[in-house]
């Protein structure tokens, strides 16, 4: 396995995130149902929330890196979408909307400068992949398919990371990335909102997660599934009471880090914190130029065939 990227340091399992500061954060276009040029974020409040998030992630035990956003790229504050990073390597995001496409190059530049190796894409203009659609549960990668990511991209991930990839068709446009309806808590438990997916997606997830915390659409609209877990702490934009008591019963600590200004752009905490090692135990990571896109070593679940 190739190992590059930031030095692991003494805490091998420590979570490492990359955030992007809100220097140029704004809502200037509308590419999801949450965005409205009539409801622009407040600059001061955005900075306060972003600094609060950095502090909360660090207090929970994560290592946080960050880089500044650039003029003209108002969604750069959501670096999770710029790629999938694992085992010191990364696959660059291929954004569906032209408004966000330049972000991928800036994210890739940061990763390359910090020692991560880039895994090339096959030459296929119809492949789209946004990092918010890719979530790991145990040893399986779940890949949302619908508004932002194409099934062929899921096959590419399976091939290069040597992992089983299950695609989950998203049918509710308000939850256009999978990380808005699925939050892994550990290798057995996850928060998820099944009503956001088609029937086959629901079936696959139900058979995959032994101990689910099923939430309604109304609960999911609070962005509670767009959270990250650091050690035992679930860092969340907000948390409906029923979800909070289930998490506490399971022994988690709940840390609320409000990001209301960012939700105006349709993104919460998971979107704002790129996991620098999404797959804890990647298989053989392939840096070879792709020849075809048949998955190796992984099998594809619903919708990807
Ligand atoms: N405005 C951004 C977009 O529509 C929000 C990105 C949210 N990212 C995420 N991982 N869910 O693309």
Over residues 210-238, the pLDDT tens digits come to: 999 999 999 999 999 999 999 999 999 99
If you measure from the C-alpha of residue 297 to the centroid of ligand 1, how many angstroms do you get, rounded to a whole number?
30
So what's the pLDDT on residue 13?
A: 56
At 6, the pLDDT band (50, 70, 90 cuts) reads low
- Summarize pLDDT for 8-64 with one digit per residue, the tens: 443 445 899 999 999 999 999 999 999 999 999 999 999 999 999 999 999 999 999
Alpha-carbon span 96 to 74, nearest angstrom? 16
- Give the mean model confidence (pLDDT) for residues 247-265: 98
> Is residue 9 in a domain?
no
If you measure from the C-alpha of residue 267 to the centroid of ligand 1, how many angstroms do you get, rounded to a whole number?
5
> Is residue 163 in a domain?
yes
Q: In testing the pocket of ligand 1, which one of 102, 193, 268, 271 has its CB within 8 Å of the most ligand atoms? A: 271
For the chain, the domain total comes to 1
> Is residue 40 in a domain?
yes
> Is residue 107 in a domain?
yes
The answer to which of 22-36, 115-129, 201-215 has the lowest mean pLDDT is 115-129
> Is residue 289 in a domain?
no
Give me the CATH number covering residue 94.
3.75.10.10
- Give the mean model confidence (pLDDT) for residues 92-113: 97
If you measure from the C-alpha of residue 16 to the centroid of ligand 1, how many angstroms do you get, rounded to a whole number?
20
> Is residue 139 in a domain?
yes
Closest ligand 1 atom to residue 35 Cα is 1
Evaluate if residue 261 carries a pLDDT over 90. Answer: yes
| Ligand 1 shell residues, CB under 6 Å | 31-32, 35, 75, 78, 80-81, 100, 132, 177, 179-180, 265-267, 271
> Is residue 35 in a domain?
yes
At 123, the pLDDT band (50, 70, 90 cuts) reads confident
If you measure from the C-alpha of residue 175 to the centroid of ligand 1, how many angstroms do you get, rounded to a whole number?
10
- Give the mean model confidence (pLDDT) for residues 107-130: 94
Chain centre to alpha carbon of residue 269: 9
Identify the domain containing residue 146 by its residue range.
21-275
The answer to which of 2-6, 190-194, 274-278 has the lowest mean pLDDT is 2-6
Question: If you take atom 8 of ligand 1, which residue's CA is the nearest one?
Answer: 271
Please state, for a pLDDT cut of 90, what percent of the chain lies above it: 85
So what's the pLDDT on residue 124?
A: 84
> Is residue 295 in a domain?
no
Q: In testing the pocket of ligand 1, which one of 24, 36, 78 has its CB within 8 Å of the most ligand atoms? A: 78
């Amino acid at each position: 396995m190739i190992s590059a990227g930031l030095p692991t340091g003494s805490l091998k399992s420590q979570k490492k995130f990359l955030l992007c500061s809100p220097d140029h954060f704004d809502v200037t276009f509308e590419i999801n149902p949450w965005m409205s040029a009539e409801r622009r974020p407040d600059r001061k409040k955005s900075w306060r929330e972003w600094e609060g998030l950095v502090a909360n992630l660090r207090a929970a035990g994560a290592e946080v890196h960050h880089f500044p956003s650039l003029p003209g790229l108002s969604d750069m504050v959501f670096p999770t979408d710029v790629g999938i990073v694992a085992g010191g390597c990364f696959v660059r995001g291929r954004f569906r909307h032209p408004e966000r496409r330049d972000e991928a190059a800036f994210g890739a530049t940061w990763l390359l400068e910090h020692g991560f190796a880039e895994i090339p894409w096959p030459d296929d203009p119809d492949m789209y992949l946004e990092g918010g659609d890719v979530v790991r549960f145990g040893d399986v990668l779940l890949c949302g398919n619908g508004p932002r990511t194409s099934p062929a991209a899921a096959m590419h991930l399976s091939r290069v990371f040597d992992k089983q990839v299950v695609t989950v068709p998203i049918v509710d446009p308000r939850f256009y990335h999978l990380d808005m309806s699925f939050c892994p808590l550990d290798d057995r438990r996850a928060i998820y909102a099944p009503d956001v997916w088609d029937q086959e997606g629901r079936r696959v997830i139900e058979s995959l997660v032994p101990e689910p915390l099923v939430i309604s659409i109304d609960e999911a609209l609070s962005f509670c599934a767009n959270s990250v877990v650091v050690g035992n702490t679930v860092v969340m934009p907000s948390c409906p009471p029923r979800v909070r008591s289930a998490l506490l019963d399971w022994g988690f600590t709940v840390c609320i880090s409000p990001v209301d200004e960012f939700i105006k752009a349709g993104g919460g905490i998971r979107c704002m914190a790129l996991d620098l090692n999404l797959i804890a135990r990647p298989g053989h990571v392939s840096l070879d130029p792709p020849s075809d896109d048949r998955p190796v070593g992984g099998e594809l679940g619903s919708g990807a065939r």
